[in-house]
Structure 1
Amino acid sequence: MAPFSGDGVLWLCLGISLFFAVRGIATDLRQVVDLTEVKHVDREEKIISEGTEEALKLDTLLKLSSSTSHDLRAAALRIIAERSTKGETRDILLDDLSSKNKVRQGRALTALNFLVSNRALSRTSVCTRLRDLPAYTAIINCLCNFLDEHTEVTYPTTSPVLARTRPLGEKKALQILNILLPENIPAALEAGIVTRWLSKYPFPCALDEPSRRQDVVILLKTWWSDDTVMSSIFSNLTSHAEGIKQLRKYGLMGSMLEEENEQDDDDEDDDGDSDVWMVDGEDTAGSYRGSSSRRPQDGNAEGTSSSSKAKRSYGFK
């Protein structure tokens, strides 16, 4: 056979080059198609994630909540919080909160306080799931149950607004109410925050003689530093028309004219000598005077903490 001529070799090399060029172009085109293809990965991952969360047991979540990884710990707490505030578990939580059984009540208070105040849960929907009438009713029931426990002096204070007989567990319930109240004031009013609870609350200024029950709102504004949580609750109530109406109806707030006269009296006292309610001394005019910037009484601080026990207070299916 005759050897290839120069032209034959040239055509052979050209053919081989074209073959590899075509294969390379085809491969590149397939890569372009793969890169530009629209996929539903997010939806698939979400479905897998939701299924995984539902499958996780409480013991596993508790271990994850103690992880050194911030992301794992936050995710575990979020799942626990979501489960705690929906369905049958939420119903049990609210029932325990309304219970007069101190063990059940204390467990529910610790759990709920953790759920609404923990920073790791600030971006969850916990508070939005607890802003309906049944939730506020349970909280008010809890606070009403504490009214019967105002029997012994726990805070030997001369404050006109801080209850001297406040039970230790009541502060936690007040903190929960204070956080949830702005979410739905009308529901809280319907649940009886004024009619069932505040109307019977033993404010010192209402119990002392002469009584200044109708000045509770004014005194809480003036002596706010003595009981910041209660002052905040009243501030929210007085920002709502129905709240003001109920406070006046039940004698915790005077009329607008009386409030103006009270303010005028305070202004006059600032310009000259004023009658002052004396501690361990004789009563003069029988009225409290204070400054909004006054320092809280010693011993008024009430210890608060969000216990990690809340994370294991309730079992989940």
Structure 2
Amino acid sequence: MAPTVVVAMSGGVDSSVAAALLKQNGFEVIGAHIVCWDGCELKEERRDALRVALQLNVPLLTFDFRDAYRKAVFDQMIRAYAEGKTPNPDVRCNREIKFGLFWEKALELGANYVATGHYAKRVDHGGEPGLWEARDKAKDQSYFLWAVNQGRLRRVIFPLQSLTKPEVRQIARGLKLSTAAKKDSQGLCFVGPVHFDDFLREYIPCRQGVVVDSNGKILGAHDGVAFYTVGQRHGLGLGAQAPYYVAEKNVATNTLIVGVGPEDPILFKNEVSVGQLNWLSDFRSGRCETRIRYRQSKVPAQVTAGDDKARVIFESPQRGVAAGQSAVFYDAERVLGGGVIL
């Protein structure tokens, strides 16, 4: 009897091709459309997923995770911004929803595996499942998957792990899938067409404070440190010829500290503390490569981990390190683990 796999079908080309490849490889495929938020072109996305399911002759279930998503992802994101951090909701969504509730629901249905359209690779190493970068480095999403429980990876398939995005499009066109030419989704669906700062202001009250440089000189005013990101240049309203960049956010004093020019020493950090650790290997301390922002190059670092926190010392000072973002540890293409920058 063929193994059963439940595929998360968002209505995009990646998950469509993932489902098609699994069916071609002899799996008993069940599609599942996950609903996490009202709106978000909900009807259109489910319609597109259903069209592909009909083309592939596979059933499509709908899982309503809206309440769980709001509590585990959205509310946590708003709370983090209010605390002056820059959270990564995709990391929490992967851990709590896609490889949390969805993974559990799929196995309750009797599935042997779950699959998604992520660009990431699962490789068993020493008898344990491991997470690696995908072949397509431009689309690789391993950075967002560091917080997934390692044991759950044993039941996960990433059908696109060895494909590039152009190859995925080509396969979709060859199969005449209705999503072959569909554009990739951009940003967070619940934000909608408004600017992200304006979106946050709907949930976090404005609180006026001062903007100062590294010497404490007052340069201007702001309406809440929650609305700014470390490394941000535009939208500071300082009206000066010299470019200013957000260096630090002091929530206690409601002060925004900026650096003058991109090379101001206050913009750089030699080391960071990382919490909420999750390991996908037996690595705990030593030299590795660390990525502190999506699409940013990995940099050499020395990691020393304790029970609940790790100290990360960079080989060279790093610019724009933001509390709340993920620090992900790599050995070449293998994800060793990660955590949240404190």
- TM normalised by structure 1 equals 0.23
Higher relative contact order (CA 8 A, sep 6+): 1
- TM normalised by structure 2 equals 0.22
Whose Rg is larger?
1
Which has a greater percent of helix? 1
